[in-house]
Amino acid sequence: MSKLLNKVRNLDAYPKINEDFFNRTLTGGVITLVSSVVMLLLFFSELRLYLHTVTETKLVVDTSRGGKLHINFDITFPAIRCSLLSLDAMDISGEEHLDIRHDIFKKRIDSHGNVIEVRQDGIGAPKVEKPLQRHGGRLEHNETYCGSCFGAETSDDDCCNSCEEVREAYRKKGWGLTNADMIDQCKREGFIQQIKDEEGEGCNIHGSLEVNKVAGNFHFALGKSFHQSNIHLFDLLALPTESYNISHRINKLAFGDSIPGVVNPLDGVHWEHETPNGMHQYFIKVVPTIYTNIRGHTIESNQFSVTEHFKSSQVGHSRTIPGVFFFYDLSPIKVTSKEDHASFLHFVTHICAIVGGIFTVAGIVDALVFHGQKALKKKMEIGKFS
């Protein structure tokens, strides 16, 4: 056993020097103190980097198919009344959603930005209890009321008992309701008067959309959309002489859930237009993104880049629809971001490198100073230093 221990002792790469031969100096103590402070600072620096998360980002081809795209928005139009503002969405697959109201909220605001009223759907006018009879004449005791659709009926049994129902019937026919002041239901509900009462007001519209995960667009335009001869038209509610200022402020626009550390490029964007009846277009490239935090929670969302263009109605001879249009397309590349800690082995390696490196450099500096002082002292003793 003793022979084995002797063999292990002979493998010692760090032979010990007898303490009688040690010579401690003041400069050595100063160098040791300085190197210890530097070593401590570098240690805490490495520890901070190790404790903080690092994000690893990769680009991969997006092989997902189908699915839905969620769009969250909050946009303020300081010079457009809520009665005239509608939201439509369509995509290249041919799916269209006109005058969207589900999960959409409108806030009437005054010129100072103060909220006057919040409503979820349309004009919000009350439905008349006794609309005009379609066939006119006198009402009998057992006769039920049935308002006229003014030519937009699809059958003799169709009734339009409110101004909104007349507008909807016109939209299904592909007609534009440009003479609302001639519709009895609209006159009884005070439809045109309510629009005029909102003159000078603005509108904040916010909510969410769920669309197909294909290229498409959604837009905030004036009036109710309808089609005629495959042309997308708008009913401007018999107010053709009015100039529409589409100045707007995008408080929020996101395609999916928010991702920590990512700021959407259109959040807080404010545009003021002096030219009336223009079309402001945003062309958006949506990039699918998967984000995984340090706890393993995954968020499947999207980032996007954007370019924009304003088209004035005064340019050229074509009729420009006033409104704000968002055209989006999907990128074939997906971004994956994952939070993680640095490797513990790397941390240990860096600490060993710091300790060993500073210890070695300090030893070299101490040896140079010690031998330099010794040589200088010897020269002074033999009188060679003057």
Residues 259 and 355 in one domain: no
Residues 32 and 69 in one domain: no
Tally the domains of the chain: 2
Summary mean pLDDT of the chain: 78
* pTM, full prediction: 0.66
pLDDT tens digits, one per residue of 146-186: 878 877 787 777 888 877 777 777 777 766 666 666 777 77
Q: What is the pLDDT of residue 48?
A: 86
Residues 35 and 152 in one domain: no
In the 3-class helix/strand/coil scheme, how is 254-314 assigned residue by residue? EECCCCCCCCCCCCCEEECCCCCCCEEEEEEEEEEEEEECCCCCEEEEEEEEEEEEEECCC
Range of the domain at 351: 26-53+344-376
Q: Does residue 176 contact residue 170 with C-beta atoms inside 8 Å?
A: yes
- The residue assigned the tokens 């001879």 is 317
Q: Could you give the CA distance from residue 40 to residue 351 in angstroms, rounded to a whole number?
A: 10
pLDDT tens digits, one per residue of 277-331: 778 999 999 999 999 988 888 999 999 999 999 887 665 545 667 889 999 999 9
Q: Does residue 108 contact residue 198 with C-beta atoms inside 8 Å?
A: yes
Tally of CB atoms within 10 A around 331: 17
Backbone angles phi, psi at 136, to 5 degrees: 70, -165
> Is there a domain that residue 3 lies in?
no
Q: Could you give the CA distance from residue 332 to residue 59 in angstroms, rounded to a whole number?
A: 10
Residues 101 and 186 in one domain: yes
pLDDT tens digits, one per residue of 6-15: 777 676 555 6
Residues 227 and 287 in one domain: yes
Q: What is the pLDDT of residue 174?
A: 64
DSSP states along 111-126: TTS-EEEEESSSS-PP
Q: What is the pLDDT of residue 36?
A: 87
